[in-house]
């Protein structure tokens, strides 16, 4: 933590996508570490997301049913909650699926963000808004452009990445045009047990299923991509510090100190397995355009917030695998 006082004070937090994988971890972080913050969340009324994501803190989080693509509903929630801090995590975030359903991803992510920002303005609120963007906006970088700084050119390589670029720029536009306190973060890869479409989580789930005799082989896509990984719990702590200490209008990279290829991560899980894990490449898991080199420079963020990861990489991998072993055991019970 930096020695200076925070730029912003948050007593009423609103998390978009609160029942999703990232949003629920954000809610857990706030409930467990910031007891003086009232935690509210937005969840789509027709969402397929399991409410079990919030089970650990459900009694401490007020959930509002609201679709971000419905401006009137967003405005109503904001007028009701009147948050002084907003964590915008809601998003269609499956990169590979965005090639299959590009228009749905673009519509949801861009218009949901536009509605949120415009509703804040129309409600005449002045919260700090932590807008969660992604390293995917940088697209494919060259080896001489690593580590990636915030000044790296934007070269979005998927419809999902394009939608996040639009979110990112909308945040800057509303800061510049209306003086809104918007802090943008570009998160690099993190280990999130609740999000099954991430390569690390998919691998852990399949390892657990093979150990339980529920499948025979582990399917994978491109194993050569290089990623820098952190624990999802460290990621949520970073979001909180970004909201407190981040300078409105600025953008910050967030990422961990552990860098390895997707294939190397798979081998770490295989080494932890209680049985042999046969693998094969599934062509359907390959993207039309891949992003294969994602190593960040996080100096700007660390200098402003003092953030440092608290979870060792080994412990994060063990946590991920044990989460899925436990879940597979419970799912396998008749």
CATH number at residue 322: 3.90.25.10
Structural domain contains residue 5: no
Q: What pLDDT is stored for residue 50 in this prediction?
A: 54
pTM of this structure: 0.95
CB-based burial label for 312 (10 Å; 0-12, 13-18, 19+): exposed
First to last CA, the chain: 48
Q: 73 and 172: one domain?
A: yes
> Is 3 a domain residue?
no
Residue entry with tokens 């807008």: 131
Instruction: Clarify whether residues 216 and 143 are in a common domain.
Output: no
How do beta strands 226-231 and 251-254 pair? unpaired
User: Is residue 159 assigned to a domain?
Assistant: yes
- Domain containing residue 166: CATH number: 3.40.50.720
Beta strand residue intervals within 144-301, DSSP E: 181-187, 190-191, 218-220, 226-231, 251-254, 258-261, 279-281, 293-294
Spatial CA neighbour of 219 closest among 237, 236, 207, 233 = 207
- pLDDT for residue 291: 85
7 domain residue, yes or no: no
- Judgement on whether residues 251 and 108 belong to the same structural domain of the protein: yes
Task: Tell me: do 20 and 133 sit in the same domain.
Answer: yes
Same domain? For 323 and 238 the reply is no
Six-digit token string for 212? 């339980």
Assess whether 67 and 88 both reside in one domain: yes
Q: Looking at the structure, tell me whether residues 246 and 264 fall in a common domain.
A: no
Is residue 206 domain-resident? Answer: yes
Which pLDDT band holds residue 287 (cuts at 50, 70, 90)? confident
In a domain, 319, yes or no: yes
Same-domain status, 322 and 182 = no
Number of domains in the chain: 2
Nearest to 93 by CA among 129, 40, 132, 139: 132
Same domain flag for 176 and 325: no
In which band, very low, low, confident or very high, does the pLDDT at 235 lie, cut at 50, 70 and 90? very high
Instruction: Say if residue 75 is in the same domain as residue 221.
Output: no
Domain range for 291 is 199-225+259-295+314-332
Residue 320 lies in a domain: yes
**Cis peptide bond upstream of 147, omega within 30:** yes
Q: Are residues 159 and 218 in the same domain?
A: no
Is the pLDDT confidence value at 51 over 90? no
Tens digit of pLDDT for each residue in 169-227?
999 999 999 999 999 999 999 999 999 889 999 999 999 999 999 999 999 999 999 99
User: What pLDDT does residue 289 have?
Assistant: 82
Which pLDDT does position 334 carry in this prediction? 57
Same domain, 43 and 163: yes
In the predicted structure, residue 47 carries a pLDDT above the cut 60 = no
């Amino acid at each position: 933590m930096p020695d200076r006082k925070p730029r912003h004070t948050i007593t009423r937090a609103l998390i978009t996508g609160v029942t999703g994988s990232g949003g629920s971890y954000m809610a857990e972080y706030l409930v467990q570490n910031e007891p003086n913050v009232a935690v509210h969340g937005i969840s789509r009324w027709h969402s397929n997301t399991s409410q079990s994501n919030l089970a650990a803190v459900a009694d401490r989080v007020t959930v509002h049913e609201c679709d971000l693509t419905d401006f009137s509903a967003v405005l109503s929630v904001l007028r009701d909650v009147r948050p002084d801090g907003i964590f915008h995590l809601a998003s269609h975030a499956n990169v590979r699926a965005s090639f299959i359903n590009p228009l749905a991803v673009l519509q949801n992510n861009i218009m949901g963000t536009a509605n949120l920002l415009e509703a804040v303005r129309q409600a005449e609120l002045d919260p700090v808004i932590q807008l969660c963007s992604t390293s995917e906006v940088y697209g494919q970088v060259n080896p001489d452009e690593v580590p990636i700084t915030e000044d790296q050119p934007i070269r979005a390589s998927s419809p999902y990445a394009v939608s996040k670029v639009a979110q990112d720029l909308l945040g800057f536009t509303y800061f510049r045009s209306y003086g809104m306190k918007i802090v943008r973060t570009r998160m690099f890869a993190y280990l999130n047990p609740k999000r099954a479409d991430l390569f690390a989580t998919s691998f852990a789930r399949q390892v657990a299923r093979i150990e339980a005799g529920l499948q025979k082989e582990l399917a994978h896509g491109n194993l050569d991509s290089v990623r820098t990984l952190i624990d999802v719990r460290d990621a949520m702590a970073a979001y909180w510090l970004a909201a407190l200490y981040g300078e409105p209008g600025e953008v910050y990279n967030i990422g961990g100190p552990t860098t390895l290829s997707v294939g190397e991560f798979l081998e770490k899980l295989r080494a932890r397995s209680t049985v042999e894990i046969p693998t094969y490449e599934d062509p359907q898991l390959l993207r039309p355009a891949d992003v294969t080199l994602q190593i960040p420079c996080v100096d700007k963020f660390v200098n402003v917030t003092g953030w440092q990861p608290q979870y060792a990489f080994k412990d994060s991998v063990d946590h991920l695998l044990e989460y899925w072993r436990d879940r597979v055991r419970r799912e396998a019970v008749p």
